[in-house]
Amino acid sequence: MDAVTKTEERCDIDSHTEHLCYLLSQGFHLDDAGTFQTLIQNPRFQCGRCGLAAADRKNLCRPAPL
């Protein structure tokens, strides 16, 4: 993989703690299932990196409209 591709795969590190992939890795979906469900209900965006879908683009690393 070249340097350009690696850079494109990275997300905004400052807001990564709001992204679904991070929240899942921390067990948020188990600790606060109700809030997690709110984040994924009626998804409008899908992450181009991990494939997860969310209602708000701010919760994904590389959001793309569904």
Query: What residues does each domain of the chain span?
Result: 3-65
Give the residue carrying structure tokens 């703690």. 17
- Per-residue pLDDT tens digits for 6-34: 444 567 677 888 999 999 999 999 999 99
Query: Is residue 42 scored above 80 in pLDDT?
Result: yes
Give the residue carrying structure tokens 């921390």. 26
| Dihedral (CA of 13, 27, 42, 64) sign | positive
- How far apart are alpha carbons 30 and 26 in whole angstroms? 9
* For the chain, percent of residues with pLDDT exceeding 90: 70
